[in-house]
């Protein structure tokens, strides 16, 4: 056995903790969004960018980071990523403007991209036994459930006693300890290569996703039919097509697009994108629902997130065992159908819906359903590949998460804004308020409610009720869209996640037959 295999059960918690610190940064920041909106006067669009500024470079750079780790070493790349993550966390903590915070979050996303790919490839290399590897994948994937549990609670507790920057500053001492643990316990794999990084592919791929997200986030405010938005969408489509064509022809591509020649791999990847888009898009609005509509404090909102997060943390590793016992297709299909039904139920919620009844039941089924599918999908992605493609597969595995997170916040946030902005504008104009007040009110629910409180009297009360109503309309629309997407994902999984078929390296990377393109 190699040193890595001998230490596998000792190294696994360290690698999971490295993932936890970068995943938790999304869950911990959600609970602070209303506070950031108030203190930095951030609009709903700006809040979307606070989230997506982290996920977007994470997604865009992770393939390049995987390539870097192959060239300079996985352990070393992970250490540099953690170090930079701590540095830019400190910058985010002391930000005094939305622009500075968004920039710091973007640099944290790049740092996270350097950290994560090495962890899954090291887990794969350390665990050679199939059953042990399934357990390890379950633990690795379960890290997201732990982040979902601890992030809102820790974030809420910090917000109760400190300023919003404390949710970023807490990363620094944790990472300091982790750097020591990684240096002492995790061996380096001598698998470096000197092949150059595909810079052109990196620029094309990142630019394509960035332009697409920019168009989706700004669509509600710029107008979906505006020339600028249509131009951004067209440019994103052209760059994306060019990126795929370039990667297919490149000898050492960032993204091995022929991985998707495996129907199981392609299906598992697409389902993960839909699942994580649902999780992050929903959570982006849920924390605002808890604090703005139900009046919870940040800490209370964190505590009210415990049941679904605890359910997710428990069921994620169990999903690996369930898939071994009952099959991946059955577990993935049933679990995602449960989540789809739960989101459809949430579309009937009201500001007065009982938490310890309706809300908890919906939250547990939605979180449990999506998390139960997590480990089987991860295992499907990795086990459908030959050993030669494990490194590329581990990077794609994380890309699906970050692409889903990025697109989820962008798309669901824009669906909400497309309802909220015209609804609030119409309500405020109907009551004869000035253009400047209407413009400010439609930036976010926090701003609209602040204006209603300032006006006071019967008018303020009526506007307060109207803002609540418009918020819930947007929230319900998002829940219905998520339910439809997950239902489609379940059908896709049932159709394509049958018994595994052979999948060889040669079948993936061999040149296409003449005329096939």
> pTM here?
0.74
* Measured distance CA(313)–CA(310) in Å, rounded: 5
Mean pLDDT, rounded, for 493-510: 52
Question: In this structure, are 406 and 330 located in the same domain?
Answer: yes
Q: pLDDT band at residue 516, thresholds of 50, 70 and 90?
A: very low
Could you read off the pLDDT of 452-498 as tens digits, one per residue? 888 888 888 888 889 899 999 999 999 999 999 999 999 998 888 86
Output the pLDDT for position 512: 29
Give domain status of residue 449, yes or no.
Answer: no
In angstroms, the CA 170 to CA 193 distance is 36
| 383, part of any domain | yes
Separation of alpha carbons 146 and 23, rounded Å: 9
Residue 305 lies in a domain: yes
Q: 458 in a domain, yes or no?
A: no
176-187 pLDDT per residue, tens: 988 888 888 777
Domain check: are 263 and 371 in the same one?
yes
285 and 159 fall within a common domain:
yes
Q: Are residues 243 and 259 in the same domain?
A: no
**Calpha distance 361→495 (Å, rounded):** 29
Min mean pLDDT across 38-42, 197-201, 233-237 is at: 197-201
Together in a domain, 347 and 205: no
State which of 210, 231, 249 marks the end of a domain: 249
pLDDT at 517 over 60: no
Pair (66, 14) in one structural domain: yes
We report the CATH number of the domain holding residue 130 as 1.20.1250.20
Q: Would you say residue 511 lies in a domain? A: no
Structure tokens at 404: 């889903």
pLDDT digits 0-9 by tens, 218-260: 777 787 788 998 999 999 899 989 988 888 888 777 777 777 7
Flag whether 436 is in a domain: no
Do 319 and 239 fall within a single domain? no
Looking at residue 354, its pLDDT comes to 86
**Could you count the other beta carbons within 10 Å of the beta carbon of residue 325?**
9
Domain that holds residue 218: 198-249
Can you tell me the mean pLDDT for 264-286? 85
Instruction: Flag whether 343 is in a domain.
Output: yes
Across the range 382-389, mean pLDDT stands at 64
* Summary mean pLDDT of the chain: 80
- 250 or 144, which is more confident: 250
Do residues 80 and 155 both lie within one domain?
Answer: yes
Pair (37, 110) in one structural domain: yes
237 shares its domain with 275: no
Q: Is residue 442 part of a domain?
A: no
Check whether 270 has a pLDDT greater than 80.
yes
Is residue 218 domain-shared with residue 118, that is, in the same domain? no
> Per the structure block, which two tokens stand in for 84?
């930079």
Please give the tally of structural domains in the chain. 2
**What is the average pLDDT across 89-102?**
92
One domain, residues 239 and 341: no
Separation CA 243–CA 178 (nearest Å): 36
List the structure tokens of 460: 């303020």
């Amino acid at each position: 056995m190699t040193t890595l295999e001998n230490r596998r059960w000792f190294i696994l918690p360290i690698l999971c903790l490295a993932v936890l610190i970068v995943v938790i940064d999304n869950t911990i920041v959600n609970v602070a969004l209303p506070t950031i909106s108030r203190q930095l006067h951030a609009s709903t669009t700006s809040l979307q960018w606070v989230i997506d500024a982290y996920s977007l470079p994470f997604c865009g750079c992770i393939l390049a980071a995987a390539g870097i780790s192959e060239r300079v070493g996985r352990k070393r790349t992970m250490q540099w990523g953690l170090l930079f993550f701590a540095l830019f966390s400190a910058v985010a903590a002391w930000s005094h403007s939305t622009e500075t915070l968004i920039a710091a979050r973007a640099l944290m996303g790049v740092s996270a991209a350097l950290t994560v790919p090495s962890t899954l490839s090291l887990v794969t290399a350390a665990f050679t036994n199939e059953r042990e590897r399934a357990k390890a994948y379950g633990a690795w994937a379960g890290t997201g459930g732990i982040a979902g549990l601890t992030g809102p609670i820790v974030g809420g507790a910090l917000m109760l006693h400190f300023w919003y920057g404390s949710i970023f500053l807490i990363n620094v001492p944790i990472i300091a300890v982790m750097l020591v643990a990684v240096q002492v316990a995790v061996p380096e794999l001598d698998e470096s290569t000197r092949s150059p990084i595909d810079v052109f592919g990196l620029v094309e791929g990142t630019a394509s996703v960035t332009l697409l997200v920019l168009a989706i986030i700004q669509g509600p405010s710029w107008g979906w039919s505006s020339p600028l938005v249509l131009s951004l969408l067209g440019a994103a489509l052209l760059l994306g097509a060019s990126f795929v064509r370039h990667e297919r022809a490149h000898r050492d591509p960032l993204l091995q697009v022929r991985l998707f020649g495996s129907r199981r791999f392609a299906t598992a990847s697409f389902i993960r994108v839909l699942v994580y888009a649902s999780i992050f898009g929903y959570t982006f609005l849920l924390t605002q629902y808890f604090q703005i509509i139900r009046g919870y404090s940040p800490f209370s909102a964190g505590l009210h997130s415990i049941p679904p997060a605890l359910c997710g943390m428990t069921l994620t590793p169990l999903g690996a065992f369930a898939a071994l016992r009952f099959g991946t297709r059955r577990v993935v299909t049933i679990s995602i159908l449960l989540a789809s039904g739960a989101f459809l139920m949430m579309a009937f919620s009201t500001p007065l819906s009982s938490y310890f009844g309706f809300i908890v039941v919906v939250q547990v089924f939605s979180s449990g359903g999506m998390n139960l599918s997590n480990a089987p999908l991860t295992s499907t992605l990795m086990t459908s590949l030959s050993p030669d493609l494990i490194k590329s597969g581990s990077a794609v595995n994380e890309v699906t998460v970050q692409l889903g997170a990025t697109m989820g916040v962008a798309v669901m946030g824009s669906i909400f804004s497309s309802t909220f902005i015209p609804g609030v504008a119409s309500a405020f104009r109907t009551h004869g308020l000035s253009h400047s007040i209407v413009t400010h009110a439609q930036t976010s629910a926090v701003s609209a409610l602040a204006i209603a409180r300032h006006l006071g009297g019967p008018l303020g009360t009526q506007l307060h009720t109207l803002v609540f109503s418009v918020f819930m309309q947007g929230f319900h629309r998002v829940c219905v869209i998520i339910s439809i997407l997950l239902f489609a994902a379940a059908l896709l999984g049932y159709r394509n996640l049958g018994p595994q078929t052979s999948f060889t390296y040669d079948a993936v990377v061999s040149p296409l037959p003449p005329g096939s393109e």
